[in-house]
Structures are given as C-alpha cells and as structure tokens.
Structure 1
Amino acid sequence: MALSNYPWADFRSTKAGIKIHTLIIYDGDIMPDKVEITPAKCADKTRMDNLIVQDTDTLHVFDRAYVDYQSFDNYCDAGILFLSRLKSNAKIEVLKTKTVIIDGQEVKDSTVLLGDKKQDKQMENILRILEIPDRENPGSTIRLITNDFEHSAALISRYYRDRWQIEIFFKWIKQHLHVKVFYGHSENAVKSQIFTALISFVLLTLLKREANTDKSLFKVLKYFRACKFESLKAFIRKINRPSRSSKGRRVIDYEKIYQLTERQVMAGETELLYSTEFNPVIL
C-alpha cells in the first residue's frame, strides 16, 4: 500500500499497511467472530484483550506477536485458557520437567515461571511449556506456552497446529473475495471492502451448513454464482446432485462396436447412426 494513497494507514516511513486482528471460532468450520482493523504500526498485543472470549471452556490460540506477560497473569486469574508460541528471547525459570512422546518424538513438558525475576518482571502464575522438535528445521525447537494443565501434550500440540486455519482463512479471502486490490483509498472505503468480504465468507459458510454438503467452500461459491437468481431449494438440490463418477480409461472394443452396428443396420435401426447423441463406444 502506497503511503501517498493511504496516509491514515501508518506503517513505515515510505509504506502504508493495515492489520486485521481477527478472532476465529474453529470447530471443523472456520467462522470469523470478532474483527479489528488497525494501521499496521499498531502493536498486536494492544488489541488482544478485545478478542478474548470470557468463557472458561474456550482455549484461545494465538500468534507469539500477541504474547504479553501482564495479560497472561490477568487471563490466569480470570480462568481464561490460552496457548501461544513463545518468543526465543523469553526468560524462563523451570520448576519441573518431564519427557513425553508425541508422534515418535521426545517432547519436554515443563512447568515454568516466565519473565525476569531480577527486574521484578516475573509472572505470578505458573505456566506450562512444551518443547517440540521442529520437523521442518532439524535442530530447532518449537516452544508452546499455555496455562492448560488438563489436556495432554499431544492434544495441545494439535490445537496449535489448528492455528494455521487462520492463515488458510486469509489466503482464501484474498484469492476468492477480491481484497488483493482496494477500490478506494479512504479508511472507510478499505474497511467497508474488507468487512464485505468477511460477511460474504460468513454467509457462504452458513449456506454450506444449510445445504448440508461436504463440498469445499470454493465449490459452494461456484454453485452460488451459478444459482444466484434461483431459489435456495434449487441451490441445495443442485449442489447435492451426485456427480458423474469417472469409469477411468476404457479399452475400445472395435470388433464389438462393428458387430453391434452391423446388427442395427441389418435390423433397419439406422436412425440411431444419424443422432448426435448416439455413441456406440458407450455400451
């Protein structure tokens, strides 16, 4: 984004940018629940409290840019569960550790205190760290921080992997709902375009649920575009219509085709030979 076109979107000295702070509810489907659009220069952790759900049964999974020790203490005191990736320069006091096996890998499962005790910046609440070998970068470790002591290390690891659903969500929005290029330059124009795309995503997800289809959201979008002037009933009927399954590559039996054609000619059934719908290969 050019700073001359978007002076309100403060980012760098020569470049503009925005951040879309988003709360996603993930239960098999992706559903955006809360959104805050800010200039890109805005620190992520300053928006965190606005995205927290006051529900002790909810596990909040977020990027390490949102890590803030004071907020972590507040969440622990309120019974709010969270899971994030820890920054590499974090000060850690290990209280207890054990080793567990996840997918054939040794994982350290530790109870810790975060923060610098010497500078009186150590957290009051005890947290849990999982140190997981990074398969994509041998020798490196992924450190996950959480206040969830109830679930297994394997389940917590899976929950964090599910965080990538938000990356898939934004990639899908950019590819299919036209937010790569903004049609206006004002703050209101940009936000309106983004919110329109998000609302479209929500409506498509609800439409998929209403149709009770296992087709991808992109397929739902394609059917919607094809049926946008038809009734909901017609849309549901068409999207759930069984697709023609391929029989694979078939060997053409020319002798059998010749014998069939000869019998038809001898029987006077020649009208089929002049039909554009007749294909003697498909028997």
Structure 2
Amino acid sequence: MRAFNIPKKKFNTSSYTRFVKPLQKIFHSIPLLESRGYRPLKMTFEDQLHALIFFHLQEHESARDLIQHLKEDDFAKECIAPSGGISRSSFSEIINSRGLKQLEYVFQSLCTQAQNVLPSKHSDLGELVSIDGSLIDAVLSMYWADYRKGAKKAKGHFGFDINRKIPLKIYLTEGNGAERPFVRSILSEGQTGIMDRGYQSHKNFDLLQDENKHFVCRIKTKTTKTILEEHTVDPNSYIFYDAMVLLGTPGVNQTQKPVRVVGYNIAGVKYFVATDRYDLTAEQIATVYKLRWDIETFFKWWKKHLKVYHLIARSTYGLMVQIFAGLITYLLMAIYCHEQFKEPVSIKRIRQLRNNIQNELRACGKNTQSDNRIVKEQTLYAKT
C-alpha cells in the first residue's frame, strides 16, 4: 500500500498536513502513474498533485510564477517540489500529457468524502444539482477552443451539489459547445437538476423521466402548453399558474410525457418553470429554482480566489488537468473549513491557513538555529 507523504521532507507543517489529510484515505487506491520509458519520472503523481494544489492555494497566476516559487520558497522547495526540482518546460510537458486519469479519480473520491462529511441543507427538497456552463478565456493558439471569429474560449459544463455547496461533475468543450447533451450525464438517478432556459429540451424532459432523473427548468414564456389538469392557486400568492401539461407543438416537438408547469411573479418578472416534481408545493418549486443561483456564487468565488482560469496549459488535456486540480483544491477547502471551524468555505479561512503555514515554517527555523542557518522570510505571491 502506498502512503501519501504529507509533507514529505524537511519541515513539519501541521496546518498543511490537516488541509490535505483527506487525500490519505484514497491515495493507496489511485491508479498508478508510471514512466512511459526507461527514464524515471521527473515528477511523480504525488509531486504533481502537491504542486497543483499549491498553485491554487497560493493564487499563482502563471506556471512561471509557480516554478519560481518552487525554487525559491523554503516551504515549497522542501515540501512541494520534486526532489531535484523541476524546470518550466518539464512541468508544462507533464501537465499537458500526464495525470488526468489520476486527478479525475481523486476528484470523484473527494466528492464522496465531502458528501459524507458536509451537512446537507434543503434535504426536504431532495438531492438538488444546479447545472450550468462557464466560459474560459483562451488564446488564439488554442485552435480547438472555437467560440467566434477573433476569439477563443473553452466551456466547462458543471454539476453543482446545492445541498452541500460543492462541485460534482465537469465536462469540457469548445466555447460554442452545446450544453443540453451533458444534462443526463451530470445527473444520477433520483437527483433533481436545476437549469435555466438555455437547457429547455422537450426530448430531454421525456428521457429524464424515463431514467428517474428529475428536473426543475425555466422555460420560455411563449412555449405552447396543452393543459391536461389545472391546479387551484391562491389569488393572493405570487404563484399564478400550476398545471399538468404537454409542452410544445403537437406533431413537432411536444413532450410525450406530461410535465408540471409552475408560474410565479417576482419583482414584476414572470417565471415559468417545468418540472416532474409532483411531491413539492408550487412555492417549493419556486424556491428550488431560486437555489440555482448558488452555482453562480461558486463560479465567482472559484475564479476570483483560486485563479483557476489563469491558464497553465493550452491543450484540452492540460486544461482538464488544471480544472480538476482547482476542483480538488476547493473540495479540500470545503472539508477543511467544516472540520476545523464548522463553516463554509471562505477566503478568511484560506488566508488564515496560508499564514499558519508561514508561522509554522518560522517556528521550525527557530528550532534549527543550532546549525547557524536562518530560515528566510517567505514571499507569498498571492494577492490577498
């Protein structure tokens, strides 16, 4: 059985050890990353994972920035970098060609851990998964990332666990890639996908019901509705419509299975939401759709504080490596903040973690002054 060495060298940093502790439970079962030739790996998967977590934890903005830190920062050099160091060209080659299978395994395993550890909110509404896409700015040399003339973008298609506030699934396409085909892959049986109007698909509504996967999806106001059964609504409520219908034009794109449509008015804006959740009240359906915005909050925080869209790779493979590493770092943060403080993820606690690592490093330096060496003051590149 392989052991996950945390940290692996000179300094004893208990804060970092606690932060990555969840990895110890799964590292023995991670698919082995082996050299493709006779030469030994310059960077093991353990080294690669440490470096990528460190990249996001310290808010680095480029591979050059990270490599410099691995060479000059005492903690990074002793506890993160591979033995003998790593050059930028070698690091780039590794990121673009190795470790994706292993990172995906780590991500999925951490998702399971987080779901077992983190408290579940809104459990009365079921297992809720917000589904949405997020554009990633690319460069013109990323020929695969088609978006529009003169612009390149990639798109991540995400499933986000509303109950525990963590990411669950990720798929990557070019920037103009369709979003609807990923809905069924993102959802598991019994889960409820929450989606905006761009995901309206009458065919998908039928298929999801066949697979016992639920949905709450906003639909266009002018969508044709053939009423099968209309439910009474309170005239004083913000709910103005609740009916079982067939959606779409008969003989063209009409649903084969009935769906429930709930209409409500918020701040003068009318919403129509299609669902197969007959067990919830109309007000609960409106609440479920409102929770969809939690994924937008996640995107904003994730991009701002983990610098996940500062590209260190340009291939589809390398970009997936970077995204998985960012998601893994976020899951570690979620578990750490809950276990240490009983709080959700916050930049305050992440800054505190960075400071604790530095304080422990200085304390370690004081304890080793007998050899007349002084541990240098660290320079953090993170913008806090």
Q: Same fold (TM over 0.5)?
A: yes
Is the partner of 1:198 in helix, strand or coil?
A: helix
Count, aligned residues? 224
Is the partner of 1:197 in helix, strand or coil?
A: helix
5 Å matches for 1:140-179?
140-179=269-308
Task: Classify 1:89/1:107 alpha carbon distance in 2 versus 1 (closer, same or farther; 3 Å).
Answer: closer
Is the partner of 2:167 in helix, strand or coil?
A: strand
Name structure 1 gaps, 5 residues minimum. 232-283
Shift of 1:109: 0.8
Is the partner of 2:227 in helix, strand or coil?
A: strand
**What one-letter code is carried by the residue in structure 1 that aligns with 2:249?**
D
Q: CA RMSD in A?
A: 2.2
1:16 corresponds, among 152, 160, 183, to 152
5 Å matches for 1:172-191?
172-191=301-320
Is the partner of 2:254 in helix, strand or coil?
A: coil
User: Percentage identity across aligned positions?
Assistant: 25
5 Å matches for 1:1-283?
1=137, 4-27=140-163, 29-54=164-189, 56=190, 58-101=191-234, 104-119=237-252, 121-135=253-267, 138=268, 140-214=269-343, 216-228=345-357
Shift of 1:217: 1.9
Name structure 2 gaps, 5 residues minimum. 1-136, 361-384
Query: Which has the higher mean CA deviation after the structures are superposed, 41-50 or 169-178?
Result: 41-50
In structure 2, distance between residues paired with 1:187 and 1:94: 46
Shift of 1:143: 0.6
Task: Classify 1:101/1:14 alpha carbon distance in 2 versus 1 (closer, same or farther; 3 Å).
Answer: farther
Larger Rg: 1
Is the partner of 1:155 in helix, strand or coil?
A: helix
Cα contact 1:99–1:106 (8 A) shared by 2: no
Shift of 1:159: 0.9
- The CA deviation string for residues 93-126 of structure 1, in whole angstroms up to 9 with x for no partner, is 122323434994242111110121043x321111
Shift of 1:16: 1.2
- The CA deviation string for residues 170-223 of structure 1, in whole angstroms up to 9 with x for no partner, is 000111001343233333333322222211111100111211423652222112
In structure 2, distance between residues paired with 1:105 and 1:167: 25
Shift of 1:76: 1.4
Shift of 1:134: 3.1
Is the partner of 1:164 in helix, strand or coil?
A: helix
TM-score, normalising length: structure 2: 0.54
Shift of 1:89: 4.3
- The CA deviation string for residues 62-89 of structure 1, in whole angstroms up to 9 with x for no partner, is 2222222122112212322111101244
In structure 1, distance between residues paired with 2:357 and 2:173: 34
In structure 2, distance between residues paired with 1:31 and 1:216: 10
Cα contact 1:81–1:146 (8 A) shared by 2: yes
In structure 2, distance between residues paired with 1:16 and 1:88: 32
Who is 2:367 aligned against? none
Shift of 1:156: 1.3
